[in-house]
Each structure stands twice: as C-alpha cells, then as structure tokens.
C-alpha cells in the first residue's frame, strides 16, 4: 500500500493551521493536525469541515524517552528494537510526510521517521538542534529530511543562494530580516525571540568561527520603498550557520530589525547596557513576553534581504535581492506547504539536507509572486566611498 498521510506536528498552532489548510486543499482527507491537546486539534478540524483530521500526539512521549539524555544527545543512530516499539505504538505505516512545527530536545523522532521511510520537514530556527541533525546523515536512511524551511531560515537561504549565483566571487554575505511589530505572532515564536535577546552564538568571520552577542553590531539597510532606512542587529537565526557550513563564503551574518526603527534602536540600547541579562529572572522574562504579545506598535509588514559582496582592488561590488510582504507567519506556512508538496510528489535523494541544497529559489518564488514584492540592486563602492546604485531586473 502506498503511503499517503501527512502529519503536521503542532498543526493547530499559529503557523501549523495555515500549513494544514493549504495541504488539505491539495491532499484531501490525508492531512492530520497533531499535538497533545486533542480538544484543540478537534476544534480546528471542525473549522475545516473535516478536511484536516485531528490526531493526539505528544512529542515528549516515545519509546526512547527513558534513555539517558547523554545517550540521546550523542546522536547514535536509533536502535532496531526502539524502532519496532515506535511502529507498534504509533502504527504510522501509512504516513508519508511529517512536518515539525515544534522545537525538540533530541533527534529520536527524526531518526525514527527516516528509518521508517517517512519524509520529514522541520521549520525550527534553532541551530544547535539542526546541527545535531546534520551529524546524523547515514546511508541507511529510507527517506528525505529538509531543514531550514520557512521565512528565516528558509526564504533567506534560497535568496542568499540565488544572489550568490550572480557574482563570480563572494567575500561576504549579509542577510537582513525585518519583522512587523503590528502582527499577532504565536506565543512560541514570541518566547523564542525574547529568549534570543540574551544569547551569544557562533558566526563565520573571514573563514574563522567566532562568538558574537545578540542584537549587537548594527547595520543600516534599505529594503526598497516599502522598508527604507532600517536598522538591523546580529541575531541567531540558523540560516547564517547553515550557509556557513554548506558554502565556502568566508563571512556570513544574519541581522534582525523591526519595522519600527525607534523600537529597534531602543532594544539595541537596552542590550548595550546589559538589561537583557535580567531575562534569566522568570518574572521579568514573562513580563517582556507579555509586552511583545499584547503591544502592537507598527505594521504587519516584513522583509528579507540578501547581499553578496566581492572585494577587489580596494573596491567592492555587491548584488542584493530583497522581498517584502505582509503577515510573516502566513508566508512561513506558505513556504512550508510549497516545500511539502514538492517533497511529497517528487523523488529526492534520501538523507538530511538544508532547504537550499535540494530546492531552488525559482521552485518556491514562482508560487509566491502574488503575495510578495521582489526587487534587485547592484552597488559599486570605490576606495573614496563614492557610490552608485541602480535597480535592475535579474
């Protein structure tokens, strides 16, 4: 019997619902919204008139949950007796694809999926987890896993890959993400963003890995007429690490800003004087999360930009691409649904890959052109800082 079902873990959440709805239009009665709260899954299912089916599924409960944590983190390939217990417990013999919308603490579920011939998509932006998955690549896998799917990472990876094809040589790749503070983001996304304000993380600078602090080293960027004169600061989106590990570009970074320049600068100022160290105090963290959840100053507009730079003879040339749109959570879901359809209907090589390693910019962007605006630009910069800039169609 050919596998047909799609399980969206976290499928009744903010992003998961849109993924389920899009895929249920393509694969009627084959899409399941999974999570541990069956009441919420059933409620969502009713809003789709049964096109999306509910499924109770707790990511923390699996046959390997009693294994020592150090064993799990060591990324040893899942043992046959554990795989048999998975199959007996969940009976997923008809599941073809799992889409993970929740953060995980170990790789056991991914190992099970790939061992059982179930394709896997992950929208996580947590690089430490994605790096664990990279180390799992095995010739024994019976399915394909695509990581870095969504907006950032996701579209940023594809846009970066595309602009890099437009120069013969690249010394530096700069990625920028601008998010609208007026959008109602999911609780998990808000908590993740707040938690990242008090972190340090590795980046690649001139071919060497070094540690940087979140929301430092700001840059001023322009994303066309829609989002001009934005400030962006270092932020631990996983696209910069994934691209650094899969390309030879010596310097890569990703920065974040918000559509309200004032709020962005205030956050950077608070970081500079060390205020975000207080996020380790639980009630302060809860208060900051509540502010981001309930105060909506700004628009629902978002934008991403990729700039590939070549330095030569005391000069530089850069090729940039940027896209803007509205409702970041929806475009994250739209990209995920597009990638899911491609993976579901094609024969990709088995193994674990980041999005840009198997999917092209053209495959995704042609299906998003109704909801986004794209522009391209070239800049030349000489040693005397005289600059010229033109917009072009590439």
The per-residue pLDDT for range 223-247, each reduced to its tens digit, is 988 899 999 999 999 999 999 999 9
Which pTM value belongs to this model?
0.88
Statement: residue 202 has pLDDT above 80: yes
d(CA 280, CA 284): 8
d(CA 28, CA 107): 30
Q: What's the chain's length in residues?
A: 394
d(CA 282, CA 287): 9
* Contact by Cβ (8 Å): 98, 113: yes
Residues 48, 124, 24: CA angle, nearest 5 degrees: 20
Residues pairing with 327 in the sheet: none
Q: HSE (CB half, 13 Å, CA atoms) of 299? A: 12
Element (H, E) at 38: helix 38-47
Structure tokens at 242: 């994934």
The per-residue pLDDT for range 110-129, each reduced to its tens digit, is 988 898 899 999 999 899 99
Between residues 354 and 381, which one has the greater pLDDT?
Answer: 354
Residue identified by tokens 């540690």 is 211
Q: What are the residues whose beta carbons fall under 8 Å from the beta carbon of 144, sequence distance 6 or more?
A: 119, 120, 343, 348, 349, 350, 351, 353, 358
Residues pairing with 54 in the sheet: 33
Give the chain's mean pLDDT: 87
Please name which of 189, 65, 77 lies closest in space to residue 123, comparing C-alpha atoms: 189
What is the predicted pLDDT for the residue at 382? 63
CA Rg, the chain, in Å? Answer: 21
Residues pairing with 102 in the sheet: none
What is the predicted pLDDT for the residue at 142? 92
d(CA 135, CA 325): 35
Residues 213, 284, 127, 159: is their CA dihedral positive or negative? negative
């Amino acid at each position: 019997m050919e596998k047909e079902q799609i399980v969206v873990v976290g499928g009744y959440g903010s992003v998961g619902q849109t993924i389920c709805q899009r895929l249920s239009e393509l694969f009627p009665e084959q899409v399941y919204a999974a999570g541990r709260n069956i009441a919420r899954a059933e409620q969502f299912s009713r809003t789709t008139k049964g096109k999306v089916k509910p499924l109770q599924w707790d990511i923390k409960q699996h046959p390997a949950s009693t294994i020592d944590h150090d064993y799990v983190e060591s990324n040893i390939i899942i043992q046959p007796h554990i795989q048999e217990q998975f199959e007996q417990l969940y009976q997923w013999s008809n599941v073809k694809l799992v889409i993970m919308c929740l953060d995980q603490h170990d790789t056991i579920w991914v190992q099970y999926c790939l061992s059982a011939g179930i394709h896997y998509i992950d929208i996580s932006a947590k690089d430490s987890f994605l790096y664990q998955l990279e180390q799992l690549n095995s010739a024994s896998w019976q399915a394909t896993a695509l990581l870095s799917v969504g907006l950032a990472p996701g579209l940023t990876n594809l846009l970066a890959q595309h602009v890099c094809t437009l120069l013969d040589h690249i010394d530096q790749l700069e990625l920028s993400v601008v998010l609208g503070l007026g959008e109602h983001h999911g609780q998990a996304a808000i908590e993740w963003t707040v938690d990242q304000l008090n972190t340090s993380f590795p980046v690649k600078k001139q071919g060497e890995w070094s540690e940087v602090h979140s929301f430092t080293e700001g840059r001023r960027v322009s994303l066309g007429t829609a989002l001009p004169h934005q400030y962006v600061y270092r932020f631990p989106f996983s696209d910069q690490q994934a691209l650094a590990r899969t390309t030879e570009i010596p310097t890569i970074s990703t920065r974040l800003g918000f559509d309200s320049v004032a709020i962005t600068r205030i956050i950077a100022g608070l970081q500079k004087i060390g205020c975000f160290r207080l996020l380790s105090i639980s009630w302060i963290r809860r208060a900051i999360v509540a502010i981001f959840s309930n105060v909506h100053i700004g628009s629902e507009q978002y934008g991403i930009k990729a700039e590939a730079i070549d330095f030569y003879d005391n000069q530089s040339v850069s090729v940039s691409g940027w896209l803007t749109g509205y409702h970041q959570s929806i475009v994250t879901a739209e990209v995920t649904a597009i990638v899911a359809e491609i993976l579901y209907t094609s024969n990709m090589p088995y193994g674990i890959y980041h999005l840009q390693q198997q999917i092209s910019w053209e495959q995704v962007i042609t299906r998003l052109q109704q909801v986004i605006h794209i522009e391209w630009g070239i800049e030349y910069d000489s040693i005397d800082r005289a600059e010229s800039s033109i917009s072009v169609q590439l």
